[in-house]
A and B are shown apart, each in its own frame.
Chain A
């Protein structure tokens, strides 16, 4: 079984968000780039599955669509344990464009399990995974909080309103993962970092693809009014304010 994890290269989640050129582009000066948190969990789970040899996972590949500046993030994924990496050499575009690049890479390989995150933490697109599956005309399962392999059968736990389901799905398929898929993201060890330098990282050119959307402008949220402080021995006043001022009780 061969797993591919789609990695979105995103600003560290504590980044102070700023925009430039009249709010038409994200200002990435001084930004630390990381593996999108859900993709990191997906990769962690893929490594766990590979390590248990009974699962017969032969290979874990990581792929990103992005410029050369995204390579340190791919190297980090290799350091965590991925066997090889692919970078589609492109500025990231809209979700449809990115998904088409990924679909092309996946079509050219032999992948059984394609893992994506539920969203990129920067643009919150929640789009690419589902789009890839539709382009490849293969099944997709979303909201995945657990994934195991039992005698070659892939068994998925997915969250539904008020509960969870266990689902089986034939390979190849796209799994869109969220929290729970792995407990903690795996951190690269020194040995992994050393080994990552020698692992294959292939750069492939873009394929022609349409963009269906574009980000026109960014808007910062309205600054909010300062918090009203209430003395700890005056809880009654809090209840009064919630009832009569905020009118939420």
Chain B
């Protein structure tokens, strides 16, 4: 029995998420027995590929050619071919856009039960039982896999990276898949270069309707700059067009789990909390002492966000200068 982990790359680079996945895969392999193979698709340099070894992968399969953009069918075929080659019984992927797009297809292709958004190591190896979030984080469920093989997508930031100090052999792998046969055609790509992604940020500064107007976002952006943080918002804020819709967190927006989440002028509606309640530490600033956000927060200030923000920036700068 072995584990295959699909490690996506971003312009040829891995990131924290990739190492979380390999660490998780190697812990799962420790439970069910066997080794971890990582699969990489697209152009990634040799030294970047071998980094995966430090987190427990013993080998890396490298598929050089990939279609431009994600074609769900082509990627499914490549990953299925790697599962066949390695004889792996468990496939680990990220619960991100890519994972959500192809893990269900792989579940059908491989006849492997899918548990999406897994948050911890399996409770048991045989049968495989894993914990995942349900009801947008209001509860957890133990999912039992009834099939021989399994596809697990790991919720971001839910597993600590563990360096094993090992090393991985890198092998180039030809999955025998017709990359040119991609059915989806990319017509146009718009990317915001150089901006820290909300899903990657350790610290997130978020504003709600209590910020009153889009003109008041200056201090939020300044605090984000000081803390190397990403900016976010509640849904009404993006609906009003005060902020771009990519920034909206919550049940219908992005689900994030940073180390630190600041909520300025956000009431803390259950649908908002669904996207942020997994943050390690939540700080809330709200004029209403009874706002539900204070039930979810770790630290709170009852006060005007527009006054607290500049003071906070000053105090953080002062503390940093020491």
Contacts and interface: CB of A to CB of B under 8 A. Distances in A.
A243 B189 CA distance: 40
B31 interface: no
A213 B134 contact: no
B143 interface: yes
Interface in B155-184: 183-184
A82 interface: no
Interface in A136-188: 139-143, 145, 155, 159-170, 173, 176, 178-180, 183-184
A127 B259 contact: no
Interface string B274-311: 10000011011000000000111111111110011001
Nearest to B280: A248
B308 A232 contact: yes
| Interface size range on B against A | 35 or more
A133 B76 CA distance: 12
B146 A212 contact: yes
B141 A238 contact: no
Given A135-B108, A139-B183, A213-B113, A161 B312 contact: no
A212 B72 contact: no
Contacts of A232: 301-304, 307-308
Contact of A246 (B109, B147, B299, B307): B299
Interface in B187-225: 187-193, 195, 197, 199, 203
Contacts of A139: 71-73, 183-184
Given A139-B72, A166-B187, A169-B185, A145 B147 contact: no
Given A127-B107, A167-B184, A161 B281 contact: no
- Could you tell me the dominant secondary structure of chain A's interface residues? mixed
Contacts of B121: none
A161 B197 contact: yes
B69 A179 contact: no
A183 B241 CA distance: 11
Interface in B56-82: 69-73, 76
B185 to A, nearest CB: 5
Interface stretch (A57-65, A72-80, A189-197, A214-222): A214-222
A213 B114 contact: yes
A215 B316 contact: no
Given A96-B108, A142-B97, A159-B246, 7 more contacts: A14-B270, A160-B189, A163-B190, A180-B245, A212-B113, A213-B113, A243-B319
A120 to B, nearest CB: 10
Q: B141, B193, B307 — which one has the most chain A CB atoms within 10 A of its CB?
A: B141
Contact of B298 (A134, A167, A217, A225): A225
Interface of A: 13-15, 17, 19, 37-38, 94-96, 99, 118-119, 121-131, 133-135, 139-143, 145, 155, 159-170, 173, 176, 178-180, 183-184, 210-221, 224-225, 227-232, 235-236, 238-243, 246, 248-249
B72 A239 contact: no
A78 to B, nearest CB: 23
A169 to B, nearest CB: 5
Q: A119, A126, A169 — which one has the most chain B CB atoms within 10 A of its CB?
A: A126
B315 interface: yes
A112 B64 CA distance: 34
14 contacts: A37-B251, A118-B100, A121-B135, A124-B132, A134-B76, A141-B184, A163-B189, A169-B184, A215-B143, A227-B284, A228-B299, A235-B312, A239-B315, A240-B319
Contacts of A155: 187
Given A179-B248, A241-B299, A249-B260, A212 B184 contact: no
Given A95-B104, A180-B245, A227-B284, A162 B192 contact: yes
Nearest to B113: A212
Nearest to B245: A180
A77 B232 CA distance: 32
A37 B142 CA distance: 25
A242 B246 contact: no
Contact of A122 (B135, B145, B300, B307): B135
B41 interface: no
A212 B299 contact: no
A219 B252 contact: no
B103 A130 contact: yes
B118 to A, nearest CB: 11
A164 B69 CA distance: 11
A14 B136 CA distance: 11
Contacts of B248: 179
